[in-house]
């Protein structure tokens, strides 16, 4: 790996050089004008800290608890579909990095490696993210499979009843695996190292779906089936059905509104993720950090409030924790890491963030990450 990767932006730039344009674009882009994706990041950067001095900060702890388990720091890897197109068997690489650093990894329904293959490769439990699909028999089977491999939490995504449009994916003719065309060939051949690496991949289609839907026996059918499966009629009643099917911790992801947060708690959520899907769904939705405090004030006593979207440094983690989050999740940053150097790239991203978080709490005069509060921020008092 390049030795000069000092920040997540360095990792992003390195990833751009490593993977074909269609896959970098798939990771990097947001929906339509990308205003929500961009706001996720810029709204974080506006929040300033109160620096404190003359405090004994020699002993510091970043450890935290999520859903009854101890982790080394308040971060989780968000579910991301198709990671396995960035690096061979990427989901396994990512899960191993998360296990090494003792933080949760969330496997997406739309992963390239299957639940069973990842569970075979790592000895720590991971979380499983579920898209509630119209084929409920398939959904029930997926939940049973997650239980069978001892996933320690089920995360149900609420904000993908319909799909936001990403221009980059259309322009780059994104498909997994890439469809044969001159344009795709040029994109792939311009990244020979990626092509060479991907020859090693044992998995090249959607591992959680392939072989589990009876009427599908080729990739084109699978892509069509998947696109038709997202459930536009996903209501709180359906969520309650999911709650009844899963006895372990339930995380509801994609909440941006305090009323919805309350409803999620009433459905039995053990945690919610304040998320706008990384600005990939409703363009024009608020940034997640701008709504966090209101949501945490409403439901923070009753459930764990996590956040994702635009977290790009340990400083951003500290900002979110100060505004009431129990934990932060990252999506794109670890994908850049895995694209650059597999497991080691993900570990590097997490090490950078851990170091930044550790020094940030120190500058704020805190010794325990769990003590961060709005008191650590410079509030614009009008």
Assigned token pair, 177? 């695996």
Catalytic site residues? 277
Q: Which of residues 330-359 bind ligand FMN (CB under 6 A)?
A: 330-332, 335
Write each residue from 157 to 196 as x if it is in contact with ligand FMN (CB under 6 A), else as -, in one continuous string: x---------------------------------------
Using the rule CB under 6 A, is 22 a contact of ligand FMN? no
Residue 356, φ and ψ in degrees, nearest 5: -65, -40
Residue 343 Cβ, how far from ligand FMN at the closest point, in Å? Answer: 18
Residue 333 Cβ, how far from ligand FMN at the closest point, in Å? Answer: 6
Residue 51 Cβ, how far from ligand FMN at the closest point, in Å? Answer: 26
Cα separation, 124 vs 158, whole angstroms: 26
Using the rule CB under 6 A, is 287 a contact of ligand FMN? no
Q: Beta strand 271-274 with 250-255: parallel, antiparallel or unpaired?
A: parallel
Nearer to ligand FMN, 346 or 366 (CB): 346
Cα separation, 310 vs 30, whole angstroms: 11
Residue 276 Cβ, how far from ligand FMN at the closest point, in Å? Answer: 8
Write each residue from 124 to 163 as x if it is in contact with ligand FMN (CB under 6 A), else as -, in one continuous string: -----x---------------------------x------
What are the residue ranges of helices labelled H in 177-307? 182-189, 192-198, 219-229, 236-245, 258-266, 288-299
Nearer to ligand FMN, 108 or 187 (CB): 108
Assigned token pair, 301? 């006593």
| 3-state helix/strand/coil string of 88-154 | CCHHHHHHHHHHHHCCCEEECCCCCCCHHHHHHHCCCCCEEEECCECCHHHHHHHHHHHHHCCCCEE
Residue 138, φ and ψ in degrees, nearest 5: -65, -40
Residue 337 Cβ, how far from ligand FMN at the closest point, in Å? Answer: 12
Residue nearest to ligand FMN (CB): 331
Using the rule CB under 6 A, is 27 a contact of ligand FMN? yes
Using the rule CB under 6 A, is 12 a contact of ligand FMN? no
Q: Residues 97, 103, 104, CA angle at the centre, nearest 5°? A: 95
- Interaction site with ligand FMN (CB under 6 A): 26-27, 40, 78-81, 108, 110, 129, 157, 253, 275, 277-278, 280, 308-311, 330-332, 335
């Amino acid at each position: 790996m390049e030795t000069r990767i000092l920040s997540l932006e360095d990792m992003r730039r390195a990833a751009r050089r490593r993977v074909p344009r269609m896959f970098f674009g798939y990771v990097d882009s947001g929906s339509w004008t990308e205003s929500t994706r961009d706001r996720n990041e810029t709204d974080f950067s506006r929040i300033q800290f109160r620096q404190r001095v003359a405090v004994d900060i020699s002993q510091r702890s970043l450890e935290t608890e999520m859903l009854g388990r101890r982790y080394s720091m308040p971060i989780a890897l968000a579910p991301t579909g198709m990671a396995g197109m960035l690096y061979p068997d990427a989901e396994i690489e990512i899960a191993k990095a998360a296990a090494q650093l003792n933080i949760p990894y969330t496997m997406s329904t739309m992963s390239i490696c299957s639940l069973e293959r990842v569970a075979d490769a790592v000895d720590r439990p991971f979380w499983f993210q579920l898209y509630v699909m119209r084929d409920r028999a398939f959904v029930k089977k997926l939940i049973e499979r997650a239980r069978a491999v001892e996933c320690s939490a089920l995360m149900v995504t609420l904000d993908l009843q319909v799909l936001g449009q990403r221009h980059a994916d259309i322009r780059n003719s994104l498909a997994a695996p890439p469809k044969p065309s001159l344009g795709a060939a040029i994109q792939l051949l311009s990244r020979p190292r990626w092509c060479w690496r991907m020859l090693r991949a044992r998995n090249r289609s959607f591992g959680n779906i392939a072989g589990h839907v009876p009427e599908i026996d080729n990739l084109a059918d699978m892509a069509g089936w998947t696109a038709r499966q997202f459930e536009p009629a996903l209501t709180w009643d359906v969520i309650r059905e999911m709650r009844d099917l899963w006895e372990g911790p339930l995380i509801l992801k994609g909440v941006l509104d305090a009323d919805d947060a309350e409803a999620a708690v009433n459905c039995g959520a053990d945690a919610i993720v304040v998320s706008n899907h990384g600005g990939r769904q409703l363009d024009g939705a608020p940034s997640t950090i701008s709504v966090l405090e209101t949501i945490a004030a409403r439901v923070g006593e009753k459930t764990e409030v996590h956040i994702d979207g635009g977290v790009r440094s340990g400083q951003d983690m500290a900002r979110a924790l100060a505004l009431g989050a129990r934990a932060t999740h990252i999506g794109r940053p670890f994908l850049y890491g895995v694209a650059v150097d597999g497991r080691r790239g993900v570990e590097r991203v997490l090490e950078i963030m851990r170091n930044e978080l550790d020094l940030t709490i120190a500058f704020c005069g805190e010794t325990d990450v769990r003590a961060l509060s709005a008191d650590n921020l410079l509030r614009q008092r009008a």
